[in-house]
Structure 1
Amino acid sequence: MGVSVPEIMAKKGREKIVMITAYDYTSARIADEAGVDIILVGDSLAMVMQGKNSTIPVTVDEMIYHAKMVKAGVKNALIVVDMPFMSYQADYVEAVRNAGRILKETGCDAVKLEGGREFVPTINNIVAAGIPVMGHLGLTPQSINIFGSYKARGRDEAEAKKIKEDAKFLQDAGVFSIVLESVPKHLAAEITQSVKVPTIGIGAGVLTDGQVLVFHDMLGLFDDFKPKFVKRYAHLKKDAVEAVKQYAEEVRAAKFPTDEHSYL
C-alpha cells in the first residue's frame, strides 16, 4: 500500500510534501524511486509532451492514457490526475462521470481541478462519489484566455482576497489539499495558515506545506520557456543533444557498432 490521502493530510504543519508532475512510466518510476510523496499527471502534458501552447487542448482520454503509464511506474507515491478543460466545467454530473472514469480506468488515487467557489457543488459531488479531490488556485492555466498571460495572480488586494476566500470554500467543499500557483509568497503563507488542509506551492514561496515542479522542467529536459519558479537541478537536454551528436558522428564514421556491440 502506497501513500494515502489521509497520510498527505496528516503532514500539514509537520512535514513538507514533495510533489512531482510526470507523464509516463520512466519519469514516474524515477520520481517514485527518489521518494516523492505525490506524482501529478498534469494537463501541462499538452505543452511538454504534445507541443501545444496551452493546457486547453488535452482531452480526458489523453489524460487517462498518460495516467495509465504513470501508474505502471509507481509503487509508493500517491497519484493525482488533472481533470482537463471542459471535463468538469459544464455540470457536476459530467464532472463526476469523468472523475470516475479517470479513477477507475487508471488506478490513480485522486483528481485535481482548477477554480474556486464556483466549483463547490462539483467538488461536493465528486467527493460524495468517493473520489478525493485536490484543489488549485492562483494562476489557473485553463483560464489563460481570461487572464491573457501567465503572470502571477493575487497581487492586487481584491484578487488576493478572493483567492484567500476561495481556499476556505475549497476546504469546506472537501478537498484534501490545494495547489497555490504563482501567487505572492505572503499570500500563500496567509492561506496556508488559514486552512486546515495542506497547501502545495509552485511559485508561491517556501511557507506552503509542500512544493511541486514538473519533472521535465527541473531536469532541464524542457526548455521552450522557463517560469521564474523553476529551478534546474540538472541540464539533461544539453547532455542528450551531445550524446546524440556523438552517436551520429560515430555512425557516419563507421565507428559504431564495434565488435563489443555486435553478435559474433
Structure 2
Amino acid sequence: MRQIGKACGHFFICSTRVRSGSAIRGFVRHRMAAQRGGPALSHGRTSAFSTCPRPRARSLPMKSTVSDLVVQRSATTARGEAAVPTRLSVARTREALLELKKATDRCRECPLGARATQAVCGEGRVRSAIMVVGEQPGDKEDVQGRPFVGPAGKLLDRALDELGWTREELYVTNAVKHFKYELRGKRRMHKTPAQREAEACHHWLQDEIDLVRPPALVALGATAARVLLGRQVAVTKERGRWHGDPSGRPVLVTLHPSALLRGDPRQRDEAWQAWLKDLGIALPRKAKD
C-alpha cells in the first residue's frame, strides 16, 4: 500500500516493498535544511519518512514536478474513499523521469552504483503502448548514459526496423540501472547482476513503470523476466507467450538480443527468425512506407 509523506513542501512516494537508501535519506535531509521552518511530520522525531513504516523515499523530489506525481490521492473522507490514480501530463512525466535519473545516479543500495560511470535509465515515448525491459547497461551504455546503444541495441534496432517499428515509438529501459563488470586487462567485461542487485534496483524500474504506465511490457532475457514477473523464469521454455506480472499487466518474455550475438553462428538465421516471431506478438509487423 502506497502512502504519500509530505515534508517541507515536497512530496515523497513511499512503498513498503523496498528498503530505504542512504542517498535518498541524505537528499531528504538536504531539502529539509534548505527549507528551515517547513512543516514536519514525526513519530517522536522530525523525518520525511514519518508517515511510512521506514521505506525508502521513492524519487521525485521537486515540488513543481511532483505535487501530483505518479499517484494523486483524493481527499480521504469520513467514508474512507479510495485514492484515485491519475496520469500526469507528458511534460510532467518527462520532468519526473529526469528527476528519477538524478536520484538513480546517487543510488548506493548495492555496490554497482559506486563502480559505474552513471546510472542508465530508460528513454523513449512516455505514452508508449509497450515498454521494453532489458537486463543492465553495457560498457557503451555506461559511458553514453543511454540504454541499448551497443551491439545488442543495434540488433534490437534492426529487429524493430524489420517489424516496421522505430525505437521512438517505444519506451526502452533496463531492469538494473548500473553497469556490472569485471576487468580483464583494460577491458570492462559484462557480468550478470546477482539477484540481490536486481532486487535492490527493482524500485527504480517500478518508478519508471508507474510514470510511463505502459499497457504491456516486453522482458528481454532472464533478469528482466524475473524482476517483472517476481519469479524464476525459464526463458527458453516460456518465451513467446504473454504472462501476467503481480499487478496483472501482460509481460511478453523472449531472449535478450545479446543471446543471439553469443549463439551458434550456424543457427543464427533460425534464431533470428524465432526472435522476430516473439517480438511480433507484442509488436505486430507494420507495412513499411
TM-score by length of 1: 0.29
From the two aligned structures, give the one with the greater helix fraction. Answer: 1
